[in-house]
Amino acid sequence: MTEEEAVALIEDQFGSTVRDKIGHFLKLVADENERQNLVSASTLPQLWTRHALDSVQLVRRAEGRPGLWIDIGSGGGFPGIPVAIAREDAMLLVEPRRKRADFLSHAAETLGLSQRVRVKQAKMEKVVESGTILSARAVSGIEPLFEMAHQCASAATRWLLPRGRIASEEIDDLRQRWKFLFHVEQSDVSPDSQIAIFDGVKRL
């Protein structure tokens, strides 16, 4: 998929206002990337495909689930800020590194999102709020995510985890210690990527 196709797809799904605001955010990311490594420099020419579209593809997987969305390890703001632009519910961005948390706060304020988007500079294990949706894009390992964030989940919480290919052995191993419903959806961006979707996660 080209950058132009990604822009057109986002506009078709969410409208020109969302497209423009995401474009503004991507400019903030590109500028800040000169000061701190928010995204890999090699992906800067593909910000719309690799980062923006890869983020907002999660929105339709959360349809019918209003409420607080918690983004774990938000880093440079993906998927959290594009999702917050495209979706009207509250967003909590959890990021342990101060410089990145400061950037996220600045971006939310600049984009007029600060009434709905909060930034918490903390490790996820210290967060105790309850989320309808939990997402994580840059955190490796599904079980470490469950361990650090299960206190923020209820039986109604959906976990949206963009990954590479999901190994069935990893899911089988998880079932030894966790109860959950699970399915995989193909990424809208890459044939080599998937979205792992978990519901009702609970420790056995």
- pLDDT tens column, 34-93: 999 999 999 999 999 999 999 999 999 999 999 999 999 999 999 999 999 999 999 999
> Mutual orientation of helices 16-32 and 3-14 as an angle, nearest 10°?
130
Tokens matching residue 196: 């792992």
What is the model's pLDDT at position 116? 97
Q: What is the DSSP string of 165-186?
A: PPPHHHHHHHTTTEEEEEEEEE
User: In whole angstroms, what is the distance from residue 157 CA to residue 63 CA?
Assistant: 13
| Domain ranges (residues) in the chain | 3-203
State whether residue 145 is helix, strand or coil: helix
What is the model's pLDDT at position 165? 82
**For residue 202, what pLDDT band results from cuts at 50, 70 and 90?**
very high
What is the model's pLDDT at position 81? 99
- pLDDT tens column, 167-189: 899 999 999 999 999 999 999 99
Tokens matching residue 27: 């400019």
Task: Say if residue 64 carries a ligand binding annotation.
Answer: no
What is the model's pLDDT at position 167? 84
Task: Say if residue 137 carries a ligand binding annotation.
Answer: yes
**Amino acid letter for position 152:** C
Give me the residue label for tokens 């909060």: 118
Give me the residue label for tokens 């976990």: 159
Q: Where are the alpha helices (DSSP H) in the chain?
A: 3-14, 16-32, 54-56, 80-86, 98-110, 142-149, 168-174
- pLDDT tens column, 98-157: 999 999 999 999 999 999 999 999 999 999 999 999 999 977 789 999 999 999 999 999
3.40.50.150, 3.30.70.2740, 3.40.50.20, 3.40.50.10470: CATH of 3-203: 3.40.50.150
What is the model's pLDDT at position 166? 83
Tokens matching residue 34: 């000169």
Give me the residue label for tokens 């990145």: 100
Q: Which residues, 6 or more positions from 154, have their beta carbon under 8 angstroms from its beta carbon?
A: 130
Closest CA to 76 of 59, 58, 51, 57: 51
Tokens matching residue 126: 């210290």
What is the model's pLDDT at position 188? 92
Tell me the torsion sign for CA atoms 69, 73, 76, 78.
negative
User: In whole angstroms, what is the distance from residue 112 CA to residue 165 CA?
Assistant: 36
What is the model's pLDDT at position 139? 73
